[in-house]
Structure 1
Amino acid sequence: MAGLYIHIPFCTSRCIYCGFYSTTLSEMKDKYVDAICKEIKLRKDYLIDEKIDTIYLGGGTPSTLSAEQLEKIFYCIYNDVYNGCKPFETTIECNPDDVTEMFADTISRLPVNRISMGAQTFCDKRLRFLRRRHCANDVGIAVKRLRQIGIRNISIDLIYGFPNETLEDWQKDISEAIRLGIEHISAYSLMIEEGTPLYDMMESGKISEINEELSRKMYETLIDRMENAGFEHYEISNFAKEGKRSKHNSCYWNSTHYIGIGAAAHSYNGNSRQWNVSDINEYIKNIEVGTIPADKEILDFSTRYDDLITTALRTKDGINLNKLVKEFGIEYRDFLIDNAKQYTDRNLMIIDDNNIRISREGLFISDAIMRDLMHV
């Protein structure tokens, strides 16, 4: 099992909170699509003898591509490189207002069976604050159109912890998400990252972060409401109806190998990590002459172990201790159990059925737990 990720960096406008690589240079779309198709061909042997089981087009905003550009990408995947590819899950990220009747028709003709939409909030005032270009009503319209073309696996992203947001405000967003009847929800606390307009607003005193107690109450409310609505809380920020976990994102948490195509995309094959240059011009220029503009890191034993800590412990399943011994040896298992004792003694971590995982109470300090369990 392996995953294929394709980064589409184009955005009509930038949201104030986003720290992902993106560009508003829409005139470069054709050249960029040509470049990613060429990179797919150049790197066809990166995952030797591994079957592509998931495909994910992320961004940026993949839904800003034309029907012809999307068809070209999928033709390259299915016909030029991975002939006979039959992935379990193919996801494309969309902005709700991009899901027009024309876009839905395009999706119906592509091998896409999962949609991920950035709803973020159902409050128009907060959407304007984020500089999102859709309105709250667009989400429901988009879901209806996607259902009409047979999409039965829809995920939406939500954000909580806006400046001046109340617990009641957040409850309304959760209620609206549940009412839509979608299969998956990813919910994140608003992150204020350096280098974003949101960070500049905080530094200048225009906004302030919500207090830690309210943020915790919002997360507790999220977990309770999602579980009561029949969603499985399978990863720190992710909730799914039965059988609807994100298979592609699970690649990252389960140490499954994946190849990343496009500017700023990351790849992992078990022995090394590499990441493409975060510059569309530099990326295209290199690909056109047949070189991959990427940096690479060879993973030693300790780094691979630390990667396991910071990914698998994000999940409901945690780390299987038998698999840990098989891959790293008894020494690393004992190291983990010994260092986790300070948390298992306080019920912040749990060991059962030969698995170690973070408990619900421990989720609120999960970053600190992971730091303490790392080997370096």
Structure 2
Amino acid sequence: MLGIYIHIPFCKQACHYCDFHFSTSLKKKVDMVSALQNELFLRKEELQNQVVETIYFGGGTPSLLTNEELQQIINSVYNNYQVVENPEITLEANPDDLIQSDLSPRAESRGLFESYKEIGINRFSIGIQSFFEQDLKLMNRAHNVQEAKECLSMATSHFDNISIDLIYGIPNASNQQWLENIEMALSYGVPHISCYALTVEPKTTLESFIKKGIVEDVDDEMAQEQFQLLVGKLESEGFVHYELSNFGKPNYFSKNNTAYWQGKHYLGIGPSAHSFNGQQRGWNVRNNAKYIKALQKNQLPIEWENLTTTDCYNEYIMTGLRTIWGVSLTKVEAEFGISYKKYLLKQAERYIDQQLLYLNDDTLLVTANGKFLTDGIASDLFKLNL
């Protein structure tokens, strides 16, 4: 099985913390949709004898596309690839787009949700981020709290497979506020919640504000406290903490993202999108104009990197440790060799002694105390390409 990720590189405005690739100009939207369709056509030979299980519209803000544009792209997938009977088709969306669409004003939003169903969308990932106005303003989100609540009320009345994003570790946001954010999310009955620590990425507006003293720096200790509160609260409500940043009720894990973490192949379509075929990692040009120009000439604007055994081992360690499935020692030995297994066990010793990692039969897993430190622990288990 395989997943297709489609990057929609447009946003209404730039969030202060975001370093993803996007443009706030929609002038090239029509050309972009055409280019995405052409890339899907030109790359169909890569996936011979593979079946598409998930289609994920990410970004950027995919909900800025019209239903007709989304339908055109989905049709291109079906026309060029083998697709399972009932694929998971996810649309990332911002609340304001779902209740103030140019196609469907507030009074007609009910029809908008039904039309999403008609074109095949069966899962939403909604960027709420916070239910506090001061947080949304600090992050420069395009929606307000009332719009977030209206959106969730309507979305949950039409769809059951909904995920929302929340951000913790926001400067001046107390633990109590964070708990209220979680409680508000739970009140809508969504079966999946993705939560991310606010990070200060280079060259973002947030980094500039912190350097100028306009905004307080991120407090790692507070972020860790809020992470622990998050895990405790959601697990007590029946959510499974199946990946470091993701919590789902049983049968509501993201199939698309789970495929990434389990090392399945995926095809990245669109500017800046990444692909993985087991032996190579590829990435498209991070420039809308160059991407469109190349596809208009039937050229693929992608670079490929051949992965070494060590690259594949490191990737497995990083993705495996982040999940409830952990790192299989049998798989490490079978796919990378006995020397890698010995190296892994040696590197893991001190973390096992510190009760940050533990062995469950054949599987290396992160303890509750180690979860927030997972990425740092994983990097210490990496092997260098020598």
Paired AA for residue 380 in structure 2: D
Aligned to 2:8: 8
Q: 1:370 aligns with which of 367, 374, 378?
A: 378
TM-score by length of structure 1 reads 0.96
CA contact (8 A) 1:91 1:115 kept: yes
CA contact (8 A) 1:193 1:199 kept: yes
The change in CA–CA distance for 1:87 and 1:331 in structure 2 (over 3 A counts) is farther
Aligned to 1:204: 212
Does 2:131 correspond to 1:122? yes
Provide the C-alpha distance between the structure 2 equivalents of 1:37 and 1:147, rounded to a whole number of angstroms. 31
Deviates more, 1:55-64 or 1:357-366: 357-366
Provide the C-alpha distance between the structure 2 equivalents of 1:37 and 1:20, rounded to a whole number of angstroms. 22
Aligned to 2:143: 134
Aligned to 1:93: 92
Provide the C-alpha distance between the structure 2 equivalents of 1:61 and 1:292, rounded to a whole number of angstroms. 23
Q: SS at 1:116's partner residue? A: strand
Deviation, 1:145, is 2.2
Deviation, 1:98, is 1.3
Aligned to 2:112: 103
Q: SS at 1:259's partner residue? A: strand
Identity %: 37
Aligned to 1:340: 348
Aligned to 1:51: 51
Provide the C-alpha distance between the structure 1 equivalents of 2:310 and 2:224, rounded to a whole number of angstroms. 32
CA RMSD, 1 decimal: 1.3
Deviates more, 1:131-140 or 1:167-176: 131-140
Does 2:272 correspond to 1:264? yes
Deviation, 1:113, is 1.3
TM-score by length of structure 2 reads 0.94
Provide the C-alpha distance between the structure 1 equivalents of 2:82 and 2:3, rounded to a whole number of angstroms. 15
The number of residue pairs the alignment matches comes to 374
Provide the C-alpha distance between the structure 1 equivalents of 2:241 and 2:363, rounded to a whole number of angstroms. 17
Deviation, 1:83, is 5.0
Gaps of 5+ in 2: 100-108
Gaps of 5+ in 1: none
CA contact (8 A) 1:52 1:86 kept: no
Residues 58-85 of structure 1 show CA distances to partners (whole Å, capped at 9, x for unaligned) of 000000111211111111112x212554
CA contact (8 A) 2:357 2:365 kept: yes
CA contact (8 A) 2:91 2:125 kept: yes
CA contact (8 A) 1:47 1:269 kept: no
Deviation, 1:341, is 0.8
Paired AA for residue 94 in structure 1: A
Paired AA for residue 45 in structure 1: E
Residues 133-179 of structure 1 show CA distances to partners (whole Å, capped at 9, x for unaligned) of 11212233223322343x21100000111111111111110110111
Deviation, 1:125, is 1.9
